[in-house]
């Protein structure tokens, strides 16, 4: 129980912190908060309006009432939100009936993100998000603090103050960008031609098609039936028009193939457009302790990532990547903002040449340990471990189908040679490496992937042996890093000889830092990658 003197000291400290919090949000912040809330309710409101046509006037009244309540909440937040700076900490005061005072030390903040939509840029404001390793207020995956929205000059000042650059508010004009960090080096800049290649390589357009289909399925039977009927009528008229020309089988086949090519090209063009919108003017900068990513055409995002927070790397090279001689790099952070993936820096390098990628990784990893020179194969029976279970499932599915539909279902077993070939190729091209403080695993033939972790950031190591593995003398090594789920480890090196797996696990445990909760990655300046 606190003494009267301690209670008075605490009250005095609280009053002092409240007096510090005098900064306010932009006068238009209530409008941006309202728009964000309306965006969250846009889909259910739209579905109700479309599906409830008979009572549309009633739904409109309910929609207006809901919008009015959201507007009052947004204005309420603007008038009750204050922020300020204490000794190396951000102070936030909010609430009127239920008052809340939060103090966020700068050293707790792991990422600072400035986000601007097109409307933000027109109004010369920005949304600032502060993210910590613990997930912050409201649970894991949420921002430590969200300043929505600030004048652009104040947003830059807040960003620079948290990052410790000492930028003063008087040194930034309204609407101007902050002075460049003289210690930062630009590692990568993607021109439009590279973004076109990224769109052709990726399959982002199919995500939009799948999303549109999901929206139609959720819009009710009336909307789905209307779209289906319209598509059916269009197809029926097209077939009737084609039959008037009396085409032969070759013409029908050519027309169907041409239609598939047009659909494929449309999806790829959509992918190109999405890549340009998301990664326009992409820039990757490196400072002594952190990385900075800037990107976006309509929504402009600038976010920072301390190098010590990078836990694992994923390097991918699909068949199309190789045709364009490109690679892509993603990173896992100790604090993964799942709710705001669009504002994260998981896509550290969306696309780059192998030479540029090797240079960036050599600068990020200790001792310039990329690419590894010594790769070790898996267990000699690893191919059987990959092939056995899928083949067994296929046989179990085929047997009842043969009983119900006759010998025609035996054609399913034609997939067994393909599965066997795939298992052999996977085992042949899979390998692992432990060199210069980096544990890596590669896999794939047509689509190649490399997954690797710095041994100084290993948080836990475990061995996994199924009964089948023990019978054949093999085991898998699971490597966990800070912030990852035990169910989904950062790295899995599968199907090694049991003795080799135990030796690898012991080597990784020996390389782990004494305090596994602290990453002992280097914080000094990294060399700039070669152009």
Beta-carbon contacts of 161 under 8 Å, excluding residues fewer than 6 positions away, are: 85, 106, 167
- Does 402 reside within a domain? no
Model confidence at 12, pLDDT cuts 50, 70, 90, reads low
523 has pLDDT over 90: no
| pLDDT value at residue 340 | 46
What are the structure tokens assigned to 468, written together?
């089948």
- Does 298 reside within a domain? no
More confident residue, 377 or 147: 377
pLDDT (mean) for 516-531: 45
* Tens digits of residue pLDDT in 86-116: 877 888 888 767 778 888 888 777 778 888 8
| pLDDT value at residue 519 | 46
Distance CA 64, CA 86 (A): 42
The total number of structural domains that make up the chain: 1
What are the structure tokens assigned to 272, written together?
């190109």
Q: Are 150 and 25 in contact (CB under 8 A)?
A: yes
DSSP string, 420-459: HHHHHHHHHH-EEEEETTEEEEEE-SSSEEEEEEEGGGEE
275 has pLDDT over 90: yes
167 has pLDDT over 60: no
- Does 52 reside within a domain? yes
Distance CA 34, CA 70 (A): 6
- Does 162 reside within a domain? yes
58 has pLDDT over 90: no
436 has pLDDT over 90: no
pLDDT (mean) for 168-195: 67
The widest CA-to-CA distance across the chain, in whole angstroms, is 98
What are the structure tokens assigned to 152, written together?
């652009």
- Does 390 reside within a domain? no
Model confidence at 4, pLDDT cuts 50, 70, 90, reads low
Distance CA 342, CA 117 (A): 12
More confident residue, 68 or 283: 283
Distance CA 481, CA 314 (A): 14
What are the structure tokens assigned to 354, written together?
């192998």
DSSP string, 148-209: EEEEHHHHHHHHHHHHT----GGGS-TTPPPPP-TT-EEEEEE-HHHHHHHHHHS-HHHHHH
Helices (H), 487-529: 498-511
* Tens digits of residue pLDDT in 219-246: 666 666 777 777 777 777 777 776 667 6
Model confidence at 504, pLDDT cuts 50, 70, 90, reads very high
139 has pLDDT over 50: no
3 has pLDDT over 60: no
Least confident of 132-136, 303-307, 392-396, 409-413: 132-136
| pLDDT value at residue 341 | 43
343 has pLDDT over 50: no
pLDDT (mean) for 484-498: 81
pLDDT (mean) for 63-71: 67
Closest by CA position to 495, among listed 378, 389, 392: 378
The pTM of the full predicted model, rounded to 2 decimals, is: 0.77
Report the first-to-last Cα separation within the chain, whole angstroms.
Answer: 63
Q: What is the mean pLDDT of the chain?
A: 79
516 has pLDDT over 50: no
| pLDDT value at residue 243 | 67
Closest by CA position to 324, among listed 149, 498, 435, 199: 199
Rounded to the nearest 5°, which phi and psi values hold at 223? -65, -45
Distance CA 361, CA 364 (A): 5
pLDDT (mean) for 397-422: 88
218 has pLDDT over 80: no
61 has pLDDT over 70: no
Distance CA 76, CA 285 (A): 39
Rounded to the nearest 5°, which phi and psi values hold at 296? 115, 140
Rounded to the nearest 5°, which phi and psi values hold at 290? -145, 165
Q: 485 by DSSP, 3-state: which?
A: coil
More confident residue, 226 or 128: 128
pLDDT (mean) for 244-250: 72
180 has pLDDT over 60: no
63 has pLDDT over 80: no
| pLDDT value at residue 370 | 83
| pLDDT value at residue 166 | 45
| pLDDT value at residue 337 | 46
H-helix or E-strand spanning residue 489 = none
- Does 186 reside within a domain? no
Q: Which domain holds residue 89?
A: 13-179
| pLDDT value at residue 27 | 87
- Does 486 reside within a domain? no
Distance CA 252, CA 87 (A): 75
Angle at 115 between CA 112 and CA 120, to 5 degrees: 145
Q: Which of 22-26, 76-80, 474-478 is predicted most confidently?
A: 474-478
Model confidence at 85, pLDDT cuts 50, 70, 90, reads confident
- Does 291 reside within a domain? no
pLDDT (mean) for 119-148: 72
């Amino acid at each position: 129980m606190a003494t009267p003197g301690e209670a008075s000291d605490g009250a005095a400290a609280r009053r002092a912190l409240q007096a510090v919090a005098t900064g306010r949000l932009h006068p238009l912040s209530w409008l941006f908060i309202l728009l964000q809330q309306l965006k969250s309710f846009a889909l259910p409101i739209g579905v109700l309006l479309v599906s409830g046509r008979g009572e549309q006037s009633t739904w409109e009244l309910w929609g207006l009432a809901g919008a009015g309540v959201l507007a009052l909440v947004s204005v309420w937040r603007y008038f009750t939100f204050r922020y300020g700076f204490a000794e190396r900490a951000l102070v936030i005061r909010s609430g009127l009936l239920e008052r809340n005072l939060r103090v966020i030390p700068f050293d707790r903040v792991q990422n600072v993100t400035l986000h601007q939509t097109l409307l933000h840029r027109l109004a010369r404001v920005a949304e600032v998000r502060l993210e910590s390793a613990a997930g912050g207020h409201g649970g894991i995956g949420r921002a430590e603090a969200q300043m929505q929205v600030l004048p652009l000059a104040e947003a830059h000042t807040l960003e620079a103050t948290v990052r410790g650059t000492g930028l003063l508010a008087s040194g930034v004009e309204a609407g101007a960008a902050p002075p460049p960090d003289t210690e930062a080096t630009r590692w990568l800049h993607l021109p439009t031609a590279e973004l076109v290649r990224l769109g052709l390589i990726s399959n982002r357009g199919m995500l939009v098609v799948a999303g549109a289909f999901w929206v139609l399925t959720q819009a009710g039977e009336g909307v789905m039936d209307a779209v289906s009927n319209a598509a059916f009528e269009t197809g029926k008229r097209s077939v009737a028009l084609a039959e008037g020309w009396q085409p032969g089988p070759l013409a029908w086949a050519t027309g169907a193939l041409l239609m598939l090519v047009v659909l494929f090209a449309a999806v790829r063009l959509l992918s190109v457009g999405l890549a340009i919108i998301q990664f326009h003017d992409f820039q990757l900068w490196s400072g002594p302790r952190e990385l900075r990513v800037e990107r976006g055409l309509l929504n402009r995002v600038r976010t920072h990532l301390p190098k010590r927070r990078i836990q694992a790397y994923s390097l991918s090279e699909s068949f199309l990547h190789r045709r364009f001689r490109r690679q892509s790099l993603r990173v896992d952070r100790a604090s993964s903002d799942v709710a705001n993936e669009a504002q994260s820096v998981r896509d550290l390098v969306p696309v780059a040449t192998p030479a540029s990628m090797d240079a960036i990784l050599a600068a990020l990893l200790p001792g310039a340990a990329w690419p590894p020179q010594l790769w070790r194969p898996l267990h000699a029976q690893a191919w059987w471990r990959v092939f056995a279970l899928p083949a067994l499932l296929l046989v179990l599915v085929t047997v009842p189908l043969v009983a119900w539909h006759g010998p025609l279902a035996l054609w399913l077993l034609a997939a067994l040679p393909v599965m066997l070939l795939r298992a052999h190729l996977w085992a042949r091209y899979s390998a692992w490496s432990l060199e210069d403080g980096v544990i890596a695993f590669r896999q794939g033939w047509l689509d190649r992937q490399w997954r690797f972790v710095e041994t100084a950031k290993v948080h836990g190591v475990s061995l996994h042996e199924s009964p089948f593995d023990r019978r054949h003398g093999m085991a898998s090594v699971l490597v966990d890093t800070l912030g990852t789920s035990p169910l989904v480890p950062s790295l899995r090196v599968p199907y090694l000889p049991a003795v080799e797996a135990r030796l690898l696990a012991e080597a990784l445990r020996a390389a782990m830092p004494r305090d596994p909760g602290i990453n002992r990655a280097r914080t000094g300046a990294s060399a700039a990658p070669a152009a």
